[in-house]
Chains A and B, each alone.
Chain A
Amino acid sequence: MKLNTYRKPLIALAAGSLVATLAACGGGAQPSGSASGDSDDGGSTASGPASAWALTGGSEAVFQTQFDDWNAAHPDSPIEVEWFANDAYKEKIRTAVGSGNAPTLIFSWAGGTLADYVRNGAVADITDEVAPLLENIIPSVAANGQIDGKTYAVPNNQVQPVILYYNKEVFEEAGVELPTTYEELLDVVATLSDQGVIPISLAGASVWPELMYIQYLTDRIGGPEVFQAVLDGEADAWSDPAITEALTKIQELVDAGAFGDGFGSTVADGGADTALVWTGKAAMVLQGGWVYPDFLNNAPEFVEGGSLGYANFPAVDGGTGDPANIVGNPANFWSVSTSSSAEAQESATNFLVDNNLSDEAVDEFLSVGTVPPLLGLEDKIAASDDAEYLTFVYDMVKDAPHFQLSWDQALPPAQAQELLSNLSQIFLGEITPEQFVENMNATL
């Protein structure tokens, strides 16, 4: 058979590549070829100039101004910026950090990922350098960039609490009032769905918006300690009755038609969930503060006409959590990579002290309807175009006894994926709260 003549060289080739791969693994280098291929500056970061990777959209314009200012003032130590879309960035940064090719300034959501970075010595301890910057930052926000009392990351953009946005016109037409407790919420849901309006718009296809319900309900019922136990990895921490009750209430809401029939195919990225609210098809949406600029851009008349209402999540009768607690993303953060050269790290930390959240940046954030996590902004906010909404957000964050980082960011990635997958099944009614608790306890 002809095959035999070819087989020998093939075996030799296979054996050779095995040796090559093993050698690569042994050196602690990247075993998979995919990661190293796409970063050109990879080899040169150790001696090259400082670099930063940031996200497009959102605060892109503000970051761009900051980097332009820095580069104009420091022509001999410029910072090169590359821009990425959200999901693409999250995948790329992990492999870049893992292979020692990280940019000098690493954009992050703090939480479990930052803890991973710190454990692997990938980000620098910048406690002393950024101390002057931290004095002005709201402590509950700054705390997310600190691990064991040391600062590894500093906030770089606006606070992003999860807010209940609602359409005042729809509420008026239906003759209902804004619910302040979960029980009132159920009544409002019943009235609205009788009238053919989707009571709450939910982007279930994206899954992460579903987290906001379990986060708020668990906090309202049992307080922040419940999830803290999960974070601390205590055995059976998910078995806390507050979590089971929160899950039961979620399924109660789904069964009551609170999210309509089509929430499973609504996607958050395109803004379909907020569009349902300003088009009057839905009455409420529970979303992060980052959607407010979307409301402003897509439906300026709706917002300026005063039809957009906003409130904190309702309380739960008998719950022990403070109804002023909030969940969401305290902010995004910059960390400094240890794989960069000493000069690059120095430029990056100087940039953080001088340009990050500077006065000009604050003005820009306020002008697009977002609030940076700084103390003493009351006067600036009062003078802004959007004073009423921005004051609401600012007070909400400033007065919150506890600001819970989104669970999917706070947990290590593997547990976070398990959580999203199980939660989505809770919303679909495919598993019971007891099965959820069992599945999640298995990840601890």
Chain B
Amino acid sequence: MDALAEIRNIYFDECDEFIGLLEGHLAAIGDGRATPDDIHGAFRAVHSIKGGAGAFALTELVEFAHMFEACLDALRSGKVAVEDAPVDMLLQAGDVLNELIGAARDGRSVPVSPAIVKALQAMAGGKTAAPKAGDEIFLDDDEPAPAKAGPAAKPAASAAAPAPAAESAAARIKVFITPEKEFFRRAIDPRMIFEALKHLGEIEVTCDASKVPVISSLDPNDCWMRWVVEIETEQSREHVVEALESFLADEEYSFTDTEAEDDAAAGLDFHEAPKASGEIRSTDAHAPDAEAAPQGAPSSANASAATGAVAPPVVQRRASGGTIRVDLDRIDRLMNLVGEIVITQSMLSERAGVLAKREAASFVDALFSLARQTRELQDNVMAVRAQPVKVVFQRLPRLVRELERTLGKKAHLVLAGEDTEVDKTIVEELADPLIHMLRNSMDHGLEPPEERIAAGKAPDGTIRVSAEHRGSRILICVTDDGRGINREKLIAKAKSRGLLPPDSEPTPEEADNLIFHPGLSTAQQVTDVSGRGVGMDVVRRNVEALGGRITVESTPGRGCKFTLGLPLTLAVLDGMIVRAGTERFVFPLSSIVETMQLDPGSVEPLPGGRDILQLRGEIAPLLKLRQLLGIRAIGDEPIVVIVETETVPRLAIAVDEIVGQQQVVVKNLESSFRRVEGVSAATILGDGLVALILDVDALPALSQSGRKLPTMSETLGVAV
């Protein structure tokens, strides 16, 4: 069934969220900074996982979650003091839970270690000792609860009455319904109960209104009535219980006339009430009883106005609205539409230029408003997609604890800027690189305690992970106070592997950035934490694929700082549109440092056909966009755009013209075409034509290699 499969997927997605929350809360408990919210939150996360698992009949998951939940409940209820919580065991249980979820998702089954089960049971204090823990909570709807099925479970007065065993064919079962006075305040219409019983067979209802007081002293909200229902049924008494127990408390129904006995025994005061209406007999349940009920029932349809008068004041609720969940797909569609509007709007702007002056003025005004509103619309849609990086950060304390154990090091984790928001897709992509960076810092950065003491540092290392907005990017920094990068070793290794020419002398920055090189790892031995040498280069590749960059700054002996910069969104970017020959290109505005007229006097040719631009005493390699494209033209390109790239701090790119600056909608090429070196994506400009968005970080390498940028038709494989 399609719909069910879909809900299943939602469930498993939700499980991931719950696991994340759970770990965050458990970590807080472990650090001794737990608030009651953490304990409740942890409980609720497991509880919710269990609830969903029950819906999909994932028995193993239900059983384990139930045990786990019982432990958290022990914390919640104070049976186990929070300070004494065996956090490691709970974290481990979280892992097992996660594994079970993963297994359930794939339809597999995984064994659960008896040790953890035992530990959980010990903590919960035998509460979960029942071998099939799930069953006591999930009463199967097909099997009515046997424990409270019979009158044996009823008050003592009825205990004497012989309880007939399971009925044979078409027995007559008599039920005494004796509601509490507050019955109608539960918005129950007795007809609901009769209807439920009617499912079982023919019924005959007798209403006893003898205890209804005189009208002058009657509160219409009180229930003074009792009913006797005789059911002609082939079903067992258990089914009757099942039909009743949804609505009635155990004390409110019985299979023997306890009321008469009770009245006699207790001498209840409503004996004084005069008999109001006597008995109403009926063989059809709902019609006559519909008349009987209104005696005192504000029936479900309309509450009497009088109730309002006596009702306590309405509970105050916060004025701020609630939240809803929306499919990401829907927001994506919205975002796409906004993108289309941005394009249409720039098309309109372009057309405005050809209008007669008189008409143009008011048109342009309207266009400005449209542009502003479009921008606002886009910001708002983006805000919908934004999530705080906390979602990822909250997983880190846990990771550090684990690494501490594995590596035998101590580290103090400091988190900052957890509320920094970024597009949901970016948040998701953030986790892997961040975890890798943290692992790297723990494993390679921080020294063992002895070594730290010898170096005059505190035995515990400090790792700081921070997030902040910088322009249209988010910057995530992972800073450690460890030994820093061992440059000599890195250079030596790079040379021995032929990654660097033997006689080269890389700058400190270049040396440090070698750690992003595929196949380089300076760890003495490969550890299972981060020593496989496939780490940082993969991180870098993934980050770059997102239009981000990662850099490292190291101070030998003092520590190391990884900086991860990512765009806030992948959907739009502010771009500068330039022309080279007949083609137009887009530079991401975030990488542009400045633009200027090209002064031919400041260009110095280097051997090999390359040029250098003198830039206020500094030098920048100069690329010519036409040349990159293989366009032959007379004369120099008159404009230079100075961009900042990852490898070259200042890169000058000569172009023919700056066409304008505008927001462009990023259309990914790879999904439709292929990856193109030097091009990160494409966009549609105001005139409806396509322009390529340049990947400035790839340009220096492209130019050095002598390869050319592809033209539009080459890129798209079609004539444009």
A complexed with B: no
